[in-house]
Amino acid sequence: MTREARPKKADWSEGTARKKQAGVSDMTMLSKITNEAINENLKMRFHNADIYTYIGNVLISVNPFKDLGIYTPEVLKSYENKNRMELPPHVYAIAEGAFRNMIAYSENQCVIISGESGAGKTEAAKKIMEYIAAVSGGNSSSIKEIKRMVLATNPLLESFGCAKTLRNNNSSRHGKYLEIQFNAGGEPVGAIITNYLLEKGRVVGQIRNERNFHIFYQFAKAASQEYRDKYGVLGPESYLYTSAAGCLDVPNIDDTKDYADTIKAMDVIGITPAEQDDIHRMLATILWLGNVQFVENDEGNSQITDPNITQFIAYLLEVNPEMVDKVMVSRTIETSRGGRRGSVYDVPLNIAQAQSTRDGLSKAIYDRLFNWIVMRVNKAMQARAESNYIIGVLDIYGFEIFEQNSFEQLCINYVNEKLQQIFIELTLKAEQEEYVREQIKWTPIDYFNNKVVCDLIEIKRPPGVFAAMNDACATAHADPKAADQSLSQRLTACSHSRHFELFDGNFTIKHYAGDVTYSISGMTDKNKDQLMRDHLELCKSSSNGFLQGLFPEDLTQDSKKRPPTASDRIKISANELVTKLMQSQPSYIRTIKPNENKSPSEFDDKRVLHQVKYLGLCENIRIRRAGFAYRQTFEKFVERFYLLSPQTSYAGDFIWTGDSKAACIQILKDTGIGPEEWQIGTTKTFIRHPETIWALENQREQ
């Protein structure tokens, strides 16, 4: 069956360049549905600068790696109040659809953006936010302020949460779900950001040619003279945390300009000058901590090489300098007997232990600083009025395969696996199940369900990968090597899975997006993610209120319960996220990376084919083509379209006295659309082509 392409206006409005589209702009209209045909179509379009393509209501976006001039205010305006087929595919059309559906059907919406690292998720998320800010109403100063703040979160969180990696010069190193809250009139009244697991290990070291978080270079390069004097700020070449990986500058990134934008964003959000001072103080502390070096003393223990540096850190932290020195080279161990606290010892650290302790403090401060910023942003964006609906925009770190993969990659890939699962649940599985449930005529279509991989990672019994890691943490305490060995042993329990393989010090998971080999070394420690009591005491002893506030834990409470591990936290937040997304009407953007070289002209067939396959685009097209583009409960359908039948409306009033199902049938018959275009299920009305529903919307307008 080849669907007849209906003649459509496929160019932008007056004033913008009219351009002929290459290939098909909705791949449900491809004459042959194969991975190769999809690849060819995307390629043709990529070379013609048509980076967006639909599969029904799913937007495929291929990263152009250049400015195409397609995000001007004119182009943006041209998408307002238009349906998807009236204009060429665009991320703005997705934003428009979510916004209008929210209002038309009083339903929460979410935009789920997925794709591998560097494919264009963060850019797409920003365009969605810009679009919504531009078209949503409200001239009051409080609504304008909310819009300004929402947009300002981008430069701010990118500075603190993005970094240059080998895959992407602006790689998100945390996940982010932004919910914009609207009043009944569709005006934004507030927003909330949920943050997912920042890759804090990056603060203390990066692989060669990667960088630390952008903010450190911005600050070290562009700090004011006042900060240079007060916090001892030097250039990024002077700090090990920013220079050891051998990359200080990134093409097309202007750290000095970005620093100005970061500060401007802080001002827009209302972060006070005093708070900004404290943020900078923390950044300087971290930079200087990285420069604390150790030598071995006669007893084989570590000794601080340059006590001037720790003196300065004590000044920055506003704590007693002796305490800093002590925390750097020794560790307090407390014996406990029968749950009661016993004697306290100071155990000296060897050099490796001292380095790891120093890094632990830096990571803890940065992680908490980041969470503080998110908290502060949320406080500023708190809803000004009652919020009736929400549009959520999800932008996380993309699927990642490095030469060396560790705990961070496992968490990132796990979250991506969960997102793929939502896509499968909602577009492939639920769609087909709904047809069965609603007793619609249907021929089932096969697809790979990655739930087995999600289970392999997160299931409790038999222990999955996370459970094995938690068990290893619980048993092997002090010695990280013993803990890793214990983990190796426990992971054998996963070997029953076809998607898992364990071999000398590594394990491989066959993810939906490719096989990734993870190194076990250091994993248990990263999972345990325990803040040292000595660090807590140090920070709590500070006379700086900001620093104290970052560490609110109560030192006197000795909880017997195991604190949640890092994997516990990511598992809980990923599942909460899934629940939230499942309760909203989803729109999907699936981003594709055309090559590994950030090249605007290269289209690497092999790499794209791989993505086309694992994204399940073929199955997506098949199900879409055989299925129904629109479905709505009888009640909501009637509420929306009762004006279209003289049997259900008189002079604009609703006059039907029968049930909603009969009303639906009456309306559909009276609008004169063909009987092959719609089916009535047990609770919902189904309409085959989106064009039909738009025709109904047009009639309704009239």
The DSSP code for 34 is S
Segment lying near ligand ATP (by CB under 6 A), choices 115-123, 277-285, 449-457, 574-582: 115-123
Segment lying near Mg ion (by CB under 5 A), choices 164-172, 277-285, 303-311, 487-495: 164-172
Segment lying near ligand ATP (by CB under 6 A), choices 7-15, 58-66, 356-364, 650-658: 58-66
**Beta-bridge partners for 266:** none
Pick what 89 binds: ligand ATP, Mg ion, none; C-beta below 5 to 8 Å, kind-dependent: none
Site map 573..612 versus ligand ATP, x via CB under 6 A:
------------------x---------------------
Pick what 41 binds: Mg ion, ligand ATP, none; C-beta below 5 to 8 Å, kind-dependent: none
Whether residue 117 lies in the annotated active site: yes
Question: Which of residues 172 and 262 has its CB atom nearest to Mg ion in the complex?
Answer: 172
Whether residue 122 lies in the annotated active site: yes
Asked if 524 and 407 count as a contact pair (C-beta separation under 8 A), the reply is no
**Beta-bridge partners for 649:** 654
Burial of 483 (0-12, 13-18, 19+ CB in 10 A): buried
Rounded distance, CA 690 to CA 231, Å? 60
Q: 360 to 399, contacts with ligand ATP by CB under 6 A?
A: 397-398
The DSSP code for 675 is G
Strands 109-114 and 585-592, by their bridges, are parallel
Asked if 427 and 484 count as a contact pair (C-beta separation under 8 A), the reply is no
Min. distance of Cβ 411 from ligand ATP in angstroms?
Answer: 13
Instruction: Tell me the three-class secondary structure of 126-141, residue by residue.
Output: HHHHHHHHHHCCCCCH
Min. distance of Cβ 117 from Mg ion in angstroms?
Answer: 7
Question: Which of residues 395 and 438 has its CB atom nearest to ligand ATP in the complex?
Answer: 395
Whether residue 171 lies in the annotated active site: yes
Rounded distance, CA 508 to CA 499, Å? 8
Asked if 214 and 172 count as a contact pair (C-beta separation under 8 A), the reply is no
Which of 655, 46, 129 lies closest to 392, judged by CA? 129
Question: Which of residues 121 and 593 has its CB atom nearest to Mg ion in the complex?
Answer: 121
Around Cβ 70, how many Cβ atoms within 10 Å?
Answer: 21
Rounded distance, CA 103 to CA 452, Å? 37
DSSP letters spanning 306-335: -HHHHHHHHHHHTS-HHHHHHHHHEEEEEE
Whether residue 168 lies in the annotated active site: yes
Active-site residue, from 57, 83, 122, 565: 122
Which of 202, 128, 210, 122 lies closest to 165, judged by CA? 210
Asked if 150 and 265 count as a contact pair (C-beta separation under 8 A), the reply is no
Rounded distance, CA 493 to CA 266, Å? 49
Pick what 126 binds: Mg ion, ligand ATP, none; C-beta below 5 to 8 Å, kind-dependent: none
Min. distance of Cβ 429 from Mg ion in angstroms?
Answer: 27
Min. distance of Cβ 588 from ligand ATP in angstroms?
Answer: 14
Q: Rule CB under 6 A: say whether 119 interacts with ligand ATP.
A: yes
Q: Rule CB under 5 A: say whether 172 interacts with Mg ion.
A: yes
**Which helix H or strand E contains 587, and what residues bound it?**
strand 585-592
Pick what 118 binds: ligand ATP, Mg ion, none; C-beta below 5 to 8 Å, kind-dependent: ligand ATP
Rounded distance, CA 437 to CA 123, Å? 38
Q: 89 to 148, contacts with Mg ion by CB under 5 A?
A: 121-122
Min. distance of Cβ 166 from Mg ion in angstroms?
Answer: 14
Pick what 684 binds: ligand ATP, Mg ion, none; C-beta below 5 to 8 Å, kind-dependent: none
Q: How many binding residues for ligand ATP (CB under 6 A)?
A: 22
Min. distance of Cβ 153 from ligand ATP in angstroms?
Answer: 15
Whether residue 342 lies in the annotated active site: no
CA distances from 172 to 397, 412, 608 (A): 5, 11, 22
For CA atoms 426, 427, 429, 435, the dihedral sign is positive
Query: Contacting ligand ATP (CB under 6 A), which of 88, 115, 236, 392?
Result: 115
Min. distance of Cβ 63 from ligand ATP in angstroms?
Answer: 5
Pick what 65 binds: ligand ATP, Mg ion, none; C-beta below 5 to 8 Å, kind-dependent: ligand ATP
Q: Rule CB under 6 A: say whether 122 interacts with ligand ATP.
A: yes
Q: Which residues fall within 8 angstroms of residue 441, CB to CB, at 6 or more apart?
A: 435, 679
Active-site residue, from 116, 130, 179, 400: 400
Whether residue 224 lies in the annotated active site: no
Query: Contacting ligand ATP (CB under 6 A), which of 23, 56, 120, 616?
Result: 120
Q: How many binding residues for Mg ion (CB under 5 A)?
A: 3
Nearest residue to ligand ATP on Cβ basis = 398
Active-site residue, from 171, 183, 486, 542: 171
Min. distance of Cβ 327 from Mg ion in angstroms?
Answer: 35
Helix runs in 232-333, H state only: 240-243, 255-269, 273-289, 307-317, 321-329
Question: Which of residues 23 and 120 has its CB atom nearest to Mg ion in the complex?
Answer: 120
CA distances from 91 to 47, 76, 174, 182, 502 (A): 18, 10, 23, 21, 42
Pick what 123 binds: ligand ATP, Mg ion, none; C-beta below 5 to 8 Å, kind-dependent: ligand ATP
Query: Contacting ligand ATP (CB under 6 A), which of 12, 46, 54, 65?
Result: 65
Q: Rule CB under 6 A: say whether 405 interacts with ligand ATP.
A: no
Q: Rule CB under 6 A: say whether 671 interacts with ligand ATP.
A: no
Min. distance of Cβ 593 from ligand ATP in angstroms?
Answer: 8
Active-site residue, from 172, 486, 524, 692: 172
Looking at the chain, the number of H-run helices and the number of E-run strands are 27, 21
Question: Which of residues 68 and 352 has its CB atom nearest to ligand ATP in the complex?
Answer: 68
Helix (H, G, I), strand (E, B) or coil at 390: strand
Min. distance of Cβ 373 from Mg ion in angstroms?
Answer: 17
Q: 147 to 206, contacts with ligand ATP by CB under 6 A?
A: 167-172
Which of 153, 167, 211, 123 lies closest to 409, judged by CA? 167
Whether residue 118 lies in the annotated active site: yes
Question: Which of residues 302 and 409 has its CB atom nearest to ligand ATP in the complex?
Answer: 409
Rounded distance, CA 435 to CA 442, Å? 7
Residues found near Mg ion in the complex (CB under 5 A): 121-122, 172
Q: Which residues are the active-site residues? A: 117-118, 122, 168, 171-172, 398, 400
Residues found near ligand ATP in the complex (CB under 6 A): 63-67, 115, 117-123, 167-172, 397-398, 591
